[in-house]
């Protein structure tokens, strides 16, 4: 299985356009909003989430560019972990893609009805909760019932899931960019994974209070790195990658003690464009 980290930052990207915090003004390499692409054969590619930066992410990734025909594209479909805007607005940028398939949990599909109505004006897409990916098998694991602020749907959750994507020829990826906690059963879910791409939004539970304010960080639904690192230690046989990094997160700075602690704990936070073979 081939995996490309198309984007690794949280909503708003890094640096964030309306922020002048220490991290955003440090001159560090920019990161786009989190999204990955996966493929069993390097020909048929599937996006996991569709960030608002999806156009530039696709154009900067050679294996995802259009061709060989004038309207051919290797992008076959999109899996959504949730209905948050930073994971779904990119669908509007893909509206020219005739026949695109989108998979998501039932509650997410219901919550996205306003966006689905918009996209349907441009082409006929298939929306489904039953995953059918060429050469890959997908299992969803519920991790949260946190609904996006804009959603009016009363559908039962889960509203946020992690995905286990397996290649029968070898290689298992777990993608979990949003974890409110380390949920029961998650250790078993990642047990046979070759690589786990994990929620790294915040390094600590109070990092925003000292930089950009906001006492409701916990309510955003992201387990901080200092709490997930000890759980990683129980699985030293796999590669751990943090994604969905908030613009306030000090691990964005390779020279920071927090970045060093992350590496010492057995994880990393590679940049956009990183390619992984499993």
Q: What is the structure's pLDDT at 213?
A: 57
Distance (Å, rounded) from C-alpha 49 to C-alpha 189?
20
Q: For position 153, what pLDDT does the model report?
A: 87
- Report, as an integer, the average pLDDT of 259-269: 98
Structure tokens at 198: 């994990």
Q: Indicate whether 78 pLDDT > 80.
A: yes
* Whole-number pLDDT of residue 216: 61
> Across-strand partners of 174?
164, 196
Residues 158/143, Cβ–Cβ less than 8 Å: yes
The CA-to-CA distance between both ends of the chain, in Å, stands at 5
Instruction: Please name which of 126, 214, 141 lies closest in space to residue 177, comparing C-alpha atoms.
Output: 141
Here the tokens at position 60 are 């900067």
Digit-coded pLDDT (tens) for 164-223:
999 999 899 999 999 999 999 999 999 999 999 999 999 998 887 655 655 566 667 799
pLDDT, tens only, 221-243? 799 999 999 999 999 999 999 99
Rg of the chain in Å (alpha carbons): 18
118-133, pLDDT tens digit by residue?
A: 999 998 999 999 999 9
- For the chain, the farthest-separated pair of C-alpha atoms sits apart, in whole angstroms, at 52
Q: For residue range 99-120, what is the model confidence (pLDDT) as tens digits?
A: 899 999 999 999 999 999 999 9
Whether the per-residue pLDDT at 92 is higher than 90: the answer is yes
CA distance 23 to 8: 15
Per-residue pLDDT tens digits for 12-43: 999 999 999 999 999 999 999 999 999 999 99
pLDDT at 65 > cutoff 90: yes
pTM: 0.95
Residue 83, pLDDT > 60, answer: yes
The per-residue pLDDT for 206 is 83
Across the chain, what does the average pLDDT equal? 94
Third-level CATH fold of 2-271? Metallo-beta-lactamase; Chain A (3.60.15)
Domain ranges of the chain: 2-271
Report pLDDT for 218. Answer: 63
How far is residue 122's CA from residue 160's CA, in Å, rounded to a whole number?
A: 27
Can the peptide bond before residue 15 be classed as cis, meaning omega within 30 degrees of 0? Answer: yes
Give 261: exposed, middle or buried? Use CB within 10 Å, 0-12, 13-18, 19+.
Answer: middle
């Amino acid at each position: 299985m081939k995996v490309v980290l198309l984007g690794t930052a949280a909503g708003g990207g890094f640096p964030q356009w309306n922020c002048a915090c220490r991290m955003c003004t440090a001159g560090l390499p920019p990161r786009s909003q989190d999204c990955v692409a996966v493929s069993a054969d390097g020909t048929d590619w599937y996006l996991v989430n569709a960030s608002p930066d999806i156009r530039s992410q696709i154009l900067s990734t050679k294996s995802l560019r259009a061709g060989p025909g004038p309207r051919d594209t290797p992008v076959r479909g999109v899996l959504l972990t949730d209905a948050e805007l930073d994971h779904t607005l990119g669908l509007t940028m893909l509206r020219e893609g005739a026949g695109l398939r989108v998979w998501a949990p039932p509650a997410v599909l219901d919550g996205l009805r306003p966006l689905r109505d918009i996209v349907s004006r441009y082409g006929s897409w298939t929306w489904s909760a039953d995953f059918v990916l060429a050469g890959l098998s997908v299992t969803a694991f519920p991790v949260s019932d946190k609904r996006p602020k804009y959603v009016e749907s009363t559908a039962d959750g889960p509203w946020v899931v992690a995905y286990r994507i397996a290649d029968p020829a070898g290689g298992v990826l777990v993608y979990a960019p949003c974890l409110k906690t380390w949920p029961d059963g998650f250790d078993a879910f990642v047990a046979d994974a070759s690589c786990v791409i994990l929620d790294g939004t915040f390094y600590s539970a109070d990092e925003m209070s000292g930089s950009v304010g906001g006492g409701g960080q916990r309510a955003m639904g992201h387990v901080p790195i200092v709490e997930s690192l000890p759980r990683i230690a129980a699985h030293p046989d796999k590669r751990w990658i943090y994604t969905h990094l908030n613009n306030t997160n000090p691990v964005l700075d390779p020279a920071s003690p927090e970045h060093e602690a992350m590496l010492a704990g057995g994880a990393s936070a590679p940049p956009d464009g990183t390619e992984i073979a499993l």
